[in-house]
Amino acid sequence: MTSSSYGRPVYGTLLVASVRELGGDVANLQWLRLASVVLLGLLGIALMRLLQRSGWSATDSAVVGLAVALLPAAQVTVGWSIAWPIALALLLALGGFGATDMALRRHGWPRVAVWGAAFAAYLVAGFIYQPSALFFVVPLAAALLLTRDSARDRLIRSAAHVATAIGALATGFVAMKIAFALGVRQSGVMGLETDPLAKLAWFISTPVANSLGLFALRDRFDTPVRFWVSVLLVTALIYAGFRLRTNRDSVDKWTALACLFVLPLVAFAVNLAAALRVPSYRTTYGLAGLVVLFVVYALRNLRTAGRIGPKVHHAALGVMLVVGAVAANRHAFMLIAQPQGREWQMVLDAVLPMKLKPETKVYMVQTTIEHRSTERTFADEFGSLSSDTDWAATEMFKCALRRRFPSGLPAGFTYTLDAGLNAPRHGKFDLVIDMRKLQRYRTD
């Protein structure tokens, strides 16, 4: 299966098991979306508790936890029913962080056992979705920014967390390579980057910029000005808040610089190492989580330094959450749920009145990005299409048939289904479903 070819065998297993339990009915996919919501809620609570343990106030911790659950990556995770394992991987990453922290405080065999649990949590998280396993950088940065430990202790703590997570992911990578070589799993696409400088430039211009935009979305064809305004405002705020921090002492300065410039690289390490350049928001949970943390931290520093008062501080936090909530609602509905619903309804409207014949021939004309129903689109997430691949079009047709015949196809009824990017030129078909008509919904 495709997920295994990317080194994510547990993702595929979880997905197949969950879809099978739901009986393959499109209407039942709402329960997978509900699972994503619940898991993201637990993620926010767990992150909040970890931040409070590191000395963050209840208000700041709650804002970070809530804001992370409203990010564009979270919107995709909830909007796509098949993305719920990503949220589970994020929770496992926080579990790995907590276990590593606990191991650092223990001695002897208990330390080994707890460290083993942390390693296992990261390993499973990587087998689900490798980028999510790196979400541990968010609570790590939170701990480093407020701790009063010595520079040596900070370095040891950071090295322990990074080594445990990266070591587990590297182990998973090697294990999958062996599985591919032995034929246990289908051959993978897990190549390594050969042009690191070009990758770094892409990293700054795309994933970093997208994360700095916070709740503002980029567009594949025409990114709105408000996105770049958001990037500039967030960057300026983080700079101002951290500038106050680095003026205190040398240890604080180097810690802050490490959080600002090293941890973002760690948060995107899997994608930086991989040959593929995937701009998708769902790969940027760690990066965007760091941006949220840095914004809240900057506002905290501005208040502590007397540059803003308590009312302005709390108002700014409130505005961030309101903007995040409105954006999450708007993006998830208008750029994910609504376009998916249009595609499904188009297939359903064609299948329900379809005349039955002993050998019914059906043809589906697939879509391309030019036929999308939304004005805005980015990567394969917001405003994307399901019917642009032949296998997805085929599965949509099968689901529509199950909706019409929940007890199974009538006796004597058989069908053949072909799909392509162009209308059929040869052959006679009893039903042609032209998915390109989706573009009639677009107003641009």
What are 346-361's pLDDT values in tens digits?
Answer: 999 999 998 888 888 9
Q: Is the pLDDT of residue 67 over 60?
A: yes
Report whether 399 contacts 25 (CB < 8 A): yes
Other C-beta atoms lying within 10 Å of the C-beta of residue 249: 10
Other C-beta atoms lying within 10 Å of the C-beta of residue 270: 22
Torsion angle defined by CA atoms of residues 274, 278, 280 and 285, in that order, rounded to the nearest 10 degrees? 20
Alpha carbons 436 and 419: distance in angstroms, whole number: 12
**Burial track 107-137 (b if 16+ CB lie within 10 A, e otherwise):** eeeeeeebbebbbebbbbbbbbbbbbbbbbb
Please, which pLDDT band fits residue 201 given cuts at 50, 70 and 90? very high
Phi then psi dihedrals of residue 149, to 5 deg: -65, 165
Please tell me what DSSP assigns to residue 427.
Answer: S
Q: Is the pLDDT of residue 385 over 80?
A: yes
pTM score over 0.75 = yes
Sorted by sequence, the CB contacts under 8 Å of residue 397 that are 6+ apart come out as 347, 351, 362, 364, 417, 433
**Structure confidence by residue, pLDDT tens digits, 140-167:** 999 999 888 888 888 888 999 999 999 9
Alpha carbons 206 and 201: distance in angstroms, whole number: 9
Query: CA 148: distance to chain centroid?
Result: 33
Mean pLDDT for 334-340 is 89
Sorted by sequence, the CB contacts under 8 Å of residue 339 that are 6+ apart come out as 372, 373, 374, 383, 384, 385, 438, 441
Predicted pLDDT at 144? 92
Q: Which of 23-32, 91-100, 236-245 shows the lowest per-residue confidence on average (mean pLDDT)?
A: 23-32
* Residue that is written with structure tokens 């299948």 in the block: 351
Q: Which two tokens stand for residue 185?
A: 């799993």
Q: How many residues can be counted in the chain?
A: 444
Q: Which two tokens stand for residue 325?
A: 């909530």
**Structure confidence by residue, pLDDT tens digits, 234-245:** 999 999 998 887
Alpha carbons 133 and 124: distance in angstroms, whole number: 9
List, in sequence order, the alpha helices (H) in 105-146: 109-133, 137-146
Alpha carbons 395 and 79: distance in angstroms, whole number: 19
Q: Is the pLDDT of residue 265 over 90?
A: yes
List, in sequence order, the alpha helices (H) in 307-385: 310-332, 338-351
**Could you give the count of Cα atoms lying within 13 Å of 288 in the half-sphere of its Cβ?**
30
Predicted pLDDT at 246? 60
Identity of the highest mean pLDDT range in 118-127, 192-201, 238-247: 118-127
Calculate what percentage of the chain has a pLDDT beyond 90: 47
Predicted pLDDT at 3? 57
Torsion angle defined by CA atoms of residues 96, 102, 104 and 105, in that order, rounded to the nearest 10 degrees? 180
* Contacts made by residues 226-235, CB under 8 angstroms, sequence distance 24+: 234/291, 234/295
Q: Is the pLDDT of residue 220 over 90?
A: no
Alpha carbons 394 and 398: distance in angstroms, whole number: 6
Alpha carbons 211 and 201: distance in angstroms, whole number: 15
Please tell me what DSSP assigns to residue 281.
Answer: G
**Structure confidence by residue, pLDDT tens digits, 304-334:** 888 999 999 999 999 999 999 999 999 999 9
List Cα–Cα distances, 333 to 31, 32, 277, in angstroms. 17, 16, 27
Predicted pLDDT at 151? 81
Please, which pLDDT band fits residue 251 given cuts at 50, 70 and 90? low
Identity of the highest mean pLDDT range in 6-15, 74-83, 181-190: 74-83
